[in-house]
Structure 1
Amino acid sequence: MRLKHITQVIGIAALLSVAGGCSKFVDINSDPNNPTTAQLSLLLPSTEISLVGNMYALNSGTATFVQHTIFTNGLSRYQQQGTSFDDPWTGFYTQTLNDLQSIITSGAAQDQWGYVGIARLEKAYLVTLMVDMWGDIPYSEGTEEGPVNVSPPFLKGADIYEKCLVLIDSALANLNSVAGTSLVPATADPIYAGSKTAWISMGRSLQLKLYNGIRLVDPTRSANAIKALLTDPSKLISSNTADFTFKFGTVQNPNNRHPWHRSEYQGGKSFYMSQSLIDLLFNNDDPRLRYYISRQNTTAGLNNSNNSNGYYGRNPGDGTASPADQSRRSSFGIYPAGGRFDNAAINNLPPANLYLTNTGATGTAKVLAVTDGTGAGIMPMITYAMVKFIRAEAALTLATGDDARISFRDGITAHLSSMSSYAAANGGNALAQTAIDAFAARLVAQYDAADDAGKLNLVMTQKYIAQYGNGMETYSDYRRTGLPVLRTPLSPLNTFPLRLYYSEAELTANTNLGADPGQLQLAQQTTPVFWDK
């Protein structure tokens, strides 16, 4: 299913649920000839839905680069094409950004500053994410990046970051100008249900993420900005309930389930699970393996062997053709895709394991079907766990005065607790709090014994594991730090991509790209984003 169709399905289903949740939805407009308020109420959820819906290929492709999963053999071998990320590029510009600008323009004219503030934060989040992925991109304060100008100029990524930092300040001022704690009707905001406090914490956490992301460019500026944010850390995302995540639904017709569930639980499978990630979790007694990966067979193994433990994935960079293994390969589990929780026994666990064990493993593996799992997965964009790991990284590299050790521990426990609560609410098993605390304590002991480089490696490795489901942030982290060390691809066709290929349609239509846009495209593979020093 092409992404534009997926996005339409998500949008229709979600908007139907928005409308159904408000009995007087059609009565919002007292004047049928002046429907501006209703347009804002419709546009805001549309932007949140299209933001996440258009991430499918972007998230899956970058997750392949960092070995979270394997979306296509070509991307696993670092071979991009002009169509690899065409759908998200086009969708972000023609759908999400245009709608956001409409909210900003119309909302300002109506003094609807809650809508304006939220839209500005969404825009800053999305545009800086696009810079992280592509580097230099079209950008303006208005709508010219969309269909109004078919040949928009490309701005430098560093300049766009500066504009977005100003945009965030404006957004926070907009939100703070709204009296009370509620910004918009709850049904018009699928992510935060109109919570003023939550959106402000998202905005300040976005600032934290961006300043940490550019720390190699101007460490003094980053350190000072982060120290200022840490004068009141309670205004950052400070609990799992305040996570900036999008929650998918359970409906099949129209389908609003997590894209990975739709891909793998309803017909033929297009993904392989990354053997690199499987081995990382298995070899480190990490209980998250049962939540991330669901097995269809308890003895299948690498290369479709029949003498392993059912965790049948594919090594990064494996260019061989796929065998007849649709009913044997492992797939996405309960978290974050809303798939099936794997509670079957694992037949070769080390006896010394404490956390990845067969205690209570009473389930069986099965060929996955549309009825397995709920599909009500999540897209984690900025979470409490991420904030804690960012604070740990910044403390170690910028001397922000924060306690890196405590942030490291809190990031681990936050993620395990969030995953456990989600699983328990969606048909899986919860982790005991004692197990979560003990698992975190073991990693803290490793942290205490490590030198500075080892401490940073532990922080980035745990962030890498906790960000499963968001390949985009992990892709940026890896380019900035080189951590964790990834498995060498078996037969790469190119070097590790430092930027994504532009949309082929953009290169064909945009006359501002010079005489040889093909060379610009090829340079994307080896040209660092401005913050990647």
Structure 2
Amino acid sequence: MKNLSKLNIFLIALVMVFLASCDNWLDVNENPNNPTDAPIQGLLTNVVLESTLNVQRAGSITSNYVQHLASPNPSSSSDIMEPLDFSGTWGSFYGIMSDITDLINKSENLGASHYVAVGQTMMAMNLGLVVDMWGNAPYSEGFTFETVTPKFDDDQQLYAEINALLDQALVNFNQASSVTVRGDDFIFQGNIPRWIKFVNSLKARYMIHMKGKPGYNAGEVLAAVSSGFVGNIDDAKMNFFEQRRNPWEVIALNNQNLLLGGWISSQFIEALDGTSYPIEDPRLPLMVGATDNGEYIGVENGAGRGDAPERGARSVLIPGQFYTTRTGPVLIMTFSELKFIEAEAAFETDKVRAYAAYLEGIRAHMRMLSVNDASLEAYISHPSVSMGVAAFTINDIFKEKWIATFLNPETWNDARRFDYAYKDMTIPESLNPNLNGQFIRRLAYPDSEVSRNGNNVPSVTLLDRIWWNE
């Protein structure tokens, strides 16, 4: 409740600042007792909140593409991978990146280097989400207000900018700061060593995307891993509040009230229920709901629920589970994900290390979900999971990472790098014919940007790949 009170105070302050700025624009006399600028504490609170929500917003788009979720309606545009207008999501990204620019500039003027570093980290993360979903995007001219039609920067160059932002953040986190980050930080509550681990973990994430491209260096990935998260305690996440609920819980509640959403793909169910692999995964009942008959039955992407009723006959997200607890977390990046990054980076040069990291990634995710020890060890010891170093393949890493990054947009990056080669994953029924029988590779640019800045918007199709996937 202490954090909630701070959130309310800061958001009210931001509203008051907005009203004050409107008065100034309208040439109304200023009240010298009113603030004329948002404090960096209030900016940071909003930056952290909206950046976390952006992760969930992106995950709600990509989870159908990776067949974590499926629509209950046949030929749903999200399932069959039609071009959709995500103007609202695009606006959320650019709105908060504008606020981050303000946070960085104001913090630099105050000598608040830790606030600068948080801003740089959040800018890198938001920019990374934009580039990974859309490719080329406005950045260098995006926040100067010198033009309302900013150019689109090259996606590969933007990746260099992401890495530079993270390097700058590390420098600033290691400097003295004139203002201490405290409860206005809803991710790490001002714990700077954990922020530093997060930055290094993000560096590893973005570098692994470049595997197979010129300049990729597995040793650099592993060096970042070694300075990153060391356990689940380090996970980058934000817990929500009674008055500001976890957005995944909101989806689950809406579905109960027949605003349908959060239905589970049959691909996901069958990967965990013993159908696709010869073992039942103890995580399944902790991640999704059972039917009224106690079974786990998914929906085939593109096919819809058929003659099944709107509730009780298919597995859906239900309130109160790990991912859907009212005050529970939205996961930004986890120790489990980092271990799978380590496994992939080490696979070609140190398979023993890769295998150990793979198993630790599974354990970390199971512990996060509070799987009991007996079930955890039974799963880990099964020969289809602990196959030994000699039989261990890159497919095993991607399979387990696909489970561990449930509902996270990073899964779509993996799916595209892996060419959607998950066992038993098939093209959705009634696939968008313009995809020529292939899986989607990027989002369409939003209508808002096309109408406002159309001369600069690249001409692309849903099959044109992001630079690291070419």
Give your verdict on TM over 0.5: yes
Hey, what does 1:239 align to over in structure 2?
Answer: 231
Task: Call closer, same or farther: CA 1:47–1:124 in 2, change over 3 Å.
Answer: same
In the alignment, the residues of structure 2 paired with residue 378 and residue 168 of structure 1 have an alpha-carbon distance, to the nearest angstrom, of 24
Instruction: Give the Cα separation in 1 of the matches to 2:233 and 2:441.
Output: 34
Change (3 A) 1:275 1:21: same
The partner residue of 2:333 within 382, 386, 389 is: 382
Equivalent residues in 2 for 1:222-261, closer than 5 Å: 222-229=217-224, 233=226, 235-249=227-241, 251=242, 254=243, 256-261=244-249
Aligned to 1:508: 451
Shift of 1:55: 4.1
Alpha-carbon distance in structure 2 between the residues aligned to 1:117 and 1:34: 25
Hey, what does 1:5 align to over in structure 2? none
Aligned residue in 2 for 1:281: 272
Kept after mapping to 1: 8 A contact 2:252/2:317: yes
Instruction: Give the equivalent residue in structure 1 for 2:382.
Output: 442
Q: Structure 1 residues 227 and 464, CA, compared in 2 at 3 Å: closer, same or farther?
A: closer
1:453-489 deviation per Cα after TM superposition (whole angstroms, max 9, x unaligned): x51111110000011121x111000111224242332
Counterpart position of 2:24: none
Paired residue for 2:292? 297
Deviates more, 1:481-490 or 1:127-136: 481-490
Question: Contact 2:80–2:432 (CA<8 Å) still a contact in 1?
Answer: yes
Return the letter of the residue paired with 1:268: L
Percentage of matched positions with identical amino acids: 25
Q: How many residues align?
A: 434
Q: Work out whether 1:262 is the aligned partner of 2:201.
A: no
Residue aligned with 1:245, SS: strand
Greater length-normalized contact order (CA 8 Å, ≥ 6 residues apart): 2
Looking at structure 2, the residues matched to 104 and 159 of structure 1 have their Cα atoms a distance apart, in angstroms, of: 21
3-state SS, counterpart of residue 310 of structure 2: coil
2:111 aligned partner: 111
Structure 1's 149 and 337: CA in aligned 2 closer, same or farther, altered over 3 A?
A: farther
Identify which of 387, 405, 410 aligns with 1:467.
405
Residue in 1 that maps onto 2:418: 481
1:457 and 2:395 correspond: yes
Once the two structures are TM-superposed, the CA of residue 387 in structure 1 deviates from its matched residue by 0.3
Alignment of 1:74-153 (within 5 A): 74-81=77-84, 83=85, 85-94=86-95, 96-140=96-140, 143-144=143-144, 149-153=147-151
Question: Which is worse superposed, 263-272 or 380-389?
Answer: 263-272
The secondary structure found in structure 2 opposite 1:137 is coil
Alignment of 1:43-62 (within 5 A): 43-62=43-62
Q: Which residue of 1 aligns with 2:27?
A: none
Q: Which amino acid aligns with 1:198?
A: R
Correspondence 1:204 to 2:195: no
Structure 2: which amino acid aligns with 1:244? Answer: A
Distance, in Å, in 2 between the alignment partners of 1:194 and 1:135 is 33
The answer on whether the counterparts of 2:156 and 2:467 sit within 8 Å (CA) in structure 1 is: yes
Rounded to whole Å, the distance in 2 between the matches of 1:481 and 1:288 is 23
Give the superposition deviation at 1:154.
0.6
Query: Aligned partners of 1:120 and 1:480: how far apart in 2?
Result: 26
Unaligned runs of at least 5 residues, structure 2: 15-31
Letter matched to residue 388 of structure 1: K
- The separation in 1 between residues aligned to 2:246 and 2:90, in whole angstroms, is 20
Per-residue deviation, 1:43: 0.8
Question: Structure 1 residue 329: deviation in Å?
Answer: 3.2
Call closer, same or farther: CA 1:187–1:322 in 2, change over 3 Å. farther
Q: Once the 2 structures are TM-superposed, how far is the Cα of residue 148 of structure 1 from its aligned partner?
A: 5.8
Cross-structure match for 1:3: none
Distance, in Å, in 1 between the alignment partners of 2:233 and 2:305 is: 43
How far is 1:129 from its partner?
1.8
Partner AA of 1:245 in structure 2: K
> After the TM superposition, which residues 327-406 of structure 1 pair with which residues of structure 2 at under 5 Å, given as runs?
327-333=312-318, 334-338=320-324, 374-397=325-348, 399=349, 403-406=353-356
Distance 2:2 2:64 in 1: 28
Q: How far off is 1:437 after superposition?
A: 3.0
In structure 2, relative to structure 1, the CA distance for the partners of 1:51 and 1:393 (3 Å cut) is same
* Amino acid aligned to 1:260: W
Q: Which moved more, 1:388-397 or 1:433-442?
A: 433-442
* Structure 2 residue identity aligned to 1:484: Y
Alpha-carbon separation, structure 2, partners of 1:43 and 1:111: 16
Q: Distance in 1 between matches of 2:149 and 2:167?
A: 30
What amino acid does structure 2 have at the position aligned with 1:502?
Answer: Y
CA distance in 2, matches of 1:21, 1:462: 42
How big is the shift at 1:386? 0.3
**Correspondence for 2:25:** none
Question: Cα distance, 1:444 vs. partner?
Answer: 7.4
Letter in 1 for 2:404: A
Q: Paired residue for 2:211?
A: 215
DSSP-derived class of the 2:176 partner: coil
* C-alpha deviation, 1:269, in angstroms: 3.6
Segments of 5+ residues of structure 1 without an aligned counterpart are 1-12, 299-308, 339-373, 421-430
Cα distance in structure 2, aligned partners of 1:33 and 1:311: 57
Deviation of 1:287 after TM superposition, in Å, equals: 0.7
In structure 1, the residue matched to 2:20 is none
Letter in 2 for 1:119: G
Deviation at 1:74, TM superposition (A): 1.3
Q: Which residue number corresponds to residue 172 of structure 2?
A: 174
Alpha-carbon separation, structure 2, partners of 1:90 and 1:388 = 33
- The superposition leaves residues 473-529 of structure 1 with CA deviations (integer Å, 9 ceiling, x where unpaired) of 110001112242423322212431100111111011104337xx7xx2xx3301011
Partners of 2:34 and 2:130 lie apart in 1 by 38
